[in-house]
Amino acid sequence: MQEELAIAVQIARGGDRVGAIYKAHQSLENSLSKFISLVELATNDQKSSNSFDPWEELKVQVAHVNFGVSVCLRLFSEHRVMQSSKGCETVEVLYTQKKSATERLRCFLDLIKGKLDGMLSPAIVLVGGRCLQRVNPESAGFFVRSFLANVTNSSEYDVRDAAHARIMECVVGIQSTFKEVLPSLLSLEVECFAECGNIMYPLDCEVAKLRKWISDNAVEELLAYEATCKRRCAEKNTQIMKKAKHRESLISSNNGIIEKQYPESAQHPVNGVSESTNNKAPNTQYSSLQLLLNPFRLEGWRLHASRVAAVLICILLLKLLLTGALKLVKNTVNAMRSPPRRQRQLTF
């Protein structure tokens, strides 16, 4: 499976991103199918005759699924349209245009969760949360928080049966392994909630619960990181507001300059013609040349030397052409009507 996903990455680098998407999703669904088969085999009481251990193979398959999800989400684009799913359920869920990008990502992650016996690995939560953060930071924060709330529940590891406990250890990891990635997940949650401005879930309200999973130094570092993220986001929002106000002031100042330069047009933008112009129109005096060139007294006619010269030249040319044509027609008619001349006879 690693080789297939590596090929998909190479195809994407070569320019065929659509082909890489199909290749990656097909490989991911193959890994999920093998995971389901291994779960059925591992939970079966019948022991295999050889040295094959389905539980160890299950851990390997979870790693393949983690890598497959990572590649699929790296290739994901919310604006890409796939003409066909080619039988891949994950492609249909992730690239359907009937839902928003946030809903598609959540449905994709829920589909993976259902295939993994109702659980997600920390690696999938990290890559899925990062992808959601680019689209909807608040949704990403709630996604990570929901995962942490389920896993850090004291009764979660005291599961209903031994088989489910072993599957959880394969997917989520044992408690010692999960504690190693917990600070990264909490950092992602802090970033998402700080970016969207959500202040309803601060970490200081869960310090007592966090100290059961991570060290005191890690808790203090997370609290300091939360304060830093909030300060950076506040500064960023302040800069955005300053730029918006500066842009509005520039627009208003430009409008003021235009009103000073064109007061009449600014006062009467709808009618298009000022009242003073309409009042002066009847009193406008026209010369004989203006009446000749503009007999209907249309507004907006301006006399230029080149325009007058062109009109006069056209009139002269038309007169010459008409005169020559009339003479030619007259001569032709006269020649046709006159009797033929008598031929002279010579006498000797």
Q: Tell me: the pLDDT tens digits for 27-76?
A: 999 999 999 999 998 888 655 556 778 888 999 999 999 999 999 999 99
For the chain, what percent of residues have pLDDT higher than 70? 73
How many angstroms separate the CA atoms of 159 and 335, rounded? Answer: 124
CA-based nearest residue to 106, from 152, 62, 142: 142
- 122-135 helix and 101-115 helix, angle to the nearest 10 degrees: 170
Amino acid at 176: S
Question: pLDDT at position 247, please?
Answer: 78
Question: pLDDT at position 53, please?
Answer: 82
Amino acid at 95: Y
Residues 145-172, mean pLDDT to the nearest whole number: 78
What distance, in Å, lies between the first and last C-alpha atoms of the chain? 129
Domain residue ranges of the chain, discontinuous segments joined by +: 2-234
pLDDT in tens, 83-119: 888 889 999 999 988 889 999 999 999 999 999 988 9
Question: pLDDT at position 143, please?
Answer: 94
Contact residues for 263 (Cβ-Cβ < 8 A; gap 6+)? none
